[in-house]
Amino acid sequence: MEVDLFSTVRLGCIEMSNRVVMAPLTRNRVAEGGVPQQMNVTYYEQRASAGLIVTEATPISPMAHGYPGLPGIYTDEQVAGWRKVTDAVHAKGGKIVIQLWHVGRISHPSLLPNQVLPVAPSAIRPAGHAVTVEGLQEYVVPRALAVTELPAIVKDYVHAAQCAMRAGFDGVEIHAANGYLLDQFLRDGSNVRTDAYGGSVENRARLLLEVTQAVVDAIGAEKTGVRLSPVNPFNDMKDSHPQAIFNFVATQLNGFNLAYLHVVEGGIHGGGEAAPFDFAAFRKLYHGAYMANLAYDKARGNAAIASGHADCVAYGVPFIANPDLVARLKADAPLNEADSTTFYGGNAHGYTDYPFLSF
């Protein structure tokens, strides 16, 4: 039988009706307190025909926030709000996992409890501006985390994963990509520590592996995915030898028997040129289910699956504008154009009002 985007696949314990994944997409539209509201329920329900939905990145604690209007997954009210989302997606036959997020240095005191400094592996200010309620403000120099603080951050990931199970999610995705906290520990452009969490590739990977182990222990490997972006320069990220650190991470993640590994295969969100990287070699090192992400269309997606490079393919912007993306791809139907001015914040316009295909 031919294997393509529209064939079934199993990731861990998640049985998918197709291999078209809705990538995590920050939309900044939740209610006060980081609680998903009816508009969010409608948005995800509309896209339930995806083989799997990965939610927008969702902070695991009050200190994990870096933008206005984000949901959370650490209070009872947030769990109740997300439960309405998962119930709606499941009622349509869909599957949904939540992306667990700590932004690290990509924040601002105005977004954090008691106006404290953002935390990071090292006290290195990223270039660029934080998005705050008052508008764009320059990033500040973050506070370097003490080794003694790291177990509490691991516990925050575990608590968020347990909250996700209470909210009815099919699994979680640990966000270790795109210049946020776990990625900041991985890459030597943001991590200049000289203790057990800095220096060697083994040390820089330590926090991600500790978080992964703790989440797997809490909810099961078959419900746990990890996202990486080996060369995405977004959020002022760089590494002197990305192939070495990420090849090491891939081999170490083999030991967990994860539901999947989700990989951003280049640079996204602007931020400059991505460094050279051999994704084919990296892919060969990882033995589990692999989710590919970055500028895939139908033809490239089918080719990646047919060749064995990917088990499924994540699509981002096309899902913003096409709630019925799977049907459109299958029918080779034209796609709605996404309106980038409505990506972040706002109301239902540009969120739940994109038209479905009419036959």
Q: What distance in Å separates the CA atoms of residue 65 and residue 103, rounded to the nearest whole number?
A: 6
Taking 3-state DSSP, the helix, strand and coil percentages for the chain, each rounded to the nearest 5, stand at: 35, 15, 45
Q: Span 213-237, mean pLDDT?
A: 98
Q: Which active-site residues does the annotation give?
A: 180
- Is residue 157 within 8 A of residue 220, CB to CB? The reply is no
- Which element (helix H / strand E) includes 299? helix 298-307
Q: What is the pLDDT of residues 104-163, one digit of tens each?
A: 999 999 999 999 999 999 999 999 999 999 999 999 999 999 999 999 999 999 999 999
What CATH code would you report for 9-17+53-84+99-294? 3.20.20.70
Q: What are phi and psi of 40, to 5 degrees?
A: -70, -35
The three-state DSSP-derived secondary structure of 222-246 is: HHEEEEECCCCCCCCCCCCCHHHHH
Q: How confident is the model at residue 358 (pLDDT cuts 50, 70, 90)?
A: confident
Instruction: State if pTM tops 0.95.
Output: yes
Q: What is the pLDDT of residues 201-221, one digit of tens each?
A: 999 999 999 999 999 999 999
pLDDT of residue 273: 80
Q: List the domain boundaries for the chain.
A: 9-17+53-84+99-294
Q: What is the pLDDT of residues 43-82, one digit of tens each?
A: 999 999 999 999 999 999 999 999 999 999 999 999 999 9
